[in-house]
Amino acid sequence: MTQLNFTKMHGLGNDFIVINAIEQPFTLTPQQIQHLSDRHRGIGFDQCLVLEASADPDTDFTYRIFNADGAEVGQCGNGARCVAWYCHQHKLTQKNPILFKTATGLLSAQILQDEWVKVDMGVMQFNHADIPDTRTDPLSLNNLNFHTAWIGNPHAVAFVDDVGAQPLAEIATALQQLHPFLNGVNVGLMQRIDDTHIKLRVYERGVGETLACGSGAVAAGVIAMCYFNYDSALNIELPGGTCEITWVDETHPAYLTGPAKTVFEGVLPTK
């Protein structure tokens, strides 16, 4: 029996275990991750985040993301803030910003004050193999019009009158069964508060509804700015708290700013 050290963290209630695979081997299987993510029989988390040494001298670390179902995915904005804060807190680098390599590209995270981190989420794509192009023709389902975007993972977002009154899980399940989303899709429902503030709920593929979704907040914010003339800086209010999104246009990256919190550190027995 060996041991695996981990740190429990969260960004606006979107919770993770962070595993430092620079200092110890990472050997968890998808089935083990799924078991550990169980909130009654395991630790409980939305994603397992794995920090590795980078083989590329131009990047600082490699950052891998596994959803609660054990599947590896390419992007997690709240997780990126937590991994960056972990690196800062454990003095793994003196660099700021910190450059990470992910399964879908590069990601830069800047450490701010009071446990806040600003993440360069990259350039939003509206025409990608994992999403239908809805720039001129939204995708309709249940009398809702969904716009799609890809920012390391696929998102479909629609405006509603009241996010609390919608059966999000039911809508997301139906949407993910459509042909364009054979690899799954993160589904967001957003509600206008004013031109600088929207409320958002997100159902993450492989996880379910979460208290917050960083890439989902970015997708919703950019879609609101792009199609509905919202300001270029938006406060996104999620069930777990509020983050900030800034975006200029399709040629520039989107930025996500919000908190990263350490909850506790622990040790897992592994075979």
Active site residues: 76, 213
Give me the residues paired with residue 43 across strands.
none
Q: Indicate the SS3 state at residue 6.
A: strand
Block residue for tokens 């270029």: 232
Ranges assigned E (strand) in the chain = 2-11, 14-20, 47-53, 61-67, 72-73, 98-102, 105-111, 116-123, 139-141, 144-150, 154-159, 186-194, 197-204, 208-210, 233-238, 241-246, 253-259, 261-270
Asked if 203 and 215 touch (Cβ cutoff 8 Å), the reply is: no
Q: Based on the number of CB atoms within 10 Å of its own CB, is 253 exposed (0-12), middle (13-18) or buried (19 or more)?
A: middle
* Spatial separation of the C-alpha atoms in residues 268 and 112, rounded to whole Å: 31
For residue 132, give the nearest of 180, 187, 172, 97 by alpha carbon: 180
Alpha-carbon torsion angle 76, 240, 260, 59, nearest 10: 10
Strand pairing class (253-259; 47-53): unpaired
Asked if 156 and 142 touch (Cβ cutoff 8 Å), the reply is: no
Alpha-carbon torsion angle 76, 78, 83, 84, nearest 10: 110
50: left (phi over 0), alpha (psi -120 to 50) or beta: beta
